[in-house]
Structures are given as C-alpha cells and as structure tokens.
Amino acid sequence: SDLKNINSEGWAKLENLNVKFNHPKFTGLATLDFFSKFKKSDSLESTSKIALNLNQMKIVLGSQFAKPSGIPLNAEFNFLGTGHELKIEHGAVQFYNLTPQVSGTLLNGPKITTKINTVIAPTNLDGWEQFLVPIPAHKASGQIQGKIAY
C-alpha cells in the first residue's frame, strides 16, 4: 500500500510528566505537558502544544550562573504544521521576570529555512545579581528590551 494514500487522524497527550533530577548542574523537578493532534489526508496537518516547567529546578552552570529552586523558569509553545511548514503560533518563555515572546516558521523544502522572531518587553533587571555567581555583592539595575529576528 502507498503511504501517501492513507488518510488518518488522531491525537497524543502527555500530562504532568514529572522527572526528578539529581545532578551537579540540575537538581529538582521538571514537569512536561504535551498535546498533539494530527490529520492526514492529501497533506499532513498537525497542531501541538508543549509546556515545560522548571520552576522547582536548581540549575548551576559552573561558577557563572545559578538559578535557585522556586525561581520561575518555564516555556510554552504552540505549533501548527502543514505540509512542509512548521509555524510557531505562540511561544512564551519565562525566567524570573523576563518573558520573551517567540513566533516564526520553519520551512522544510529543498532548502531548510527559518524565520524566528523574539520580542522582549521592557524588563527591570533589579534582583538579577542573584543569578550571576561572580557578582552577587553588586546590585543589578537598569532595563532590557528588544527584538531579535533570525
């Protein structure tokens, strides 16, 4: 049978997958949620949502960076796939008080192309010194904002 002529539809769901880590760089709980719905007729269409919560994870990256458990770190992405295109309809990341929004597309054709846009709303840097191990005695101040396109 020719796979191109098979029509089907369905979904897959993963809820509250909790994984505990005990590693020098990553200690604590990570939670993953995933949902995907697909339909295959003349072409393939799918919608997916992925959410990762690392709020209860302690992360230590050498002597440069440390995120204590209890500090927000999470991400959520909604994807739409049609034919050879994967679109990020909505992407949101949160680390502490930084909340960049992400959108874009990935085209898988003769040449793979990407267009990713990230917008960082004005974010106050007060308190960020707690994450930068070499400079905890110095107070962070100021603001960050921007747009990144790739």
pLDDT tens across 55-106, in order? 999 999 988 899 999 999 999 999 999 988 999 999 999 999 999 999 999 9
- The whole-model pTM stands at 0.85
Cα–Cα distance for residue pair 54/72, rounded to 1 Å: 7
Q: How open is the CA angle 62-66-68, to the nearest 5 degrees?
A: 145
pLDDT tens readout for residues 36-47:
999 987 778 999
Cα–Cα distance for residue pair 149/35, rounded to 1 Å: 27
pLDDT in the model for residue 3: 62
Q: Give the model's confidence band at 132: pLDDT under 50 very low, under 70 low, under 90 confident, else very high.
A: confident
Nearest residue to 139 (alpha-carbon basis) of 60, 95, 64, 130: 130
Cα–Cα distance for residue pair 150/134, rounded to 1 Å: 31
pLDDT tens readout for residues 6-38:
788 999 999 999 999 999 999 999 999 999 999
- For residue 121, pLDDT over 80 is answered with yes
Residue 139 DSSP label: P
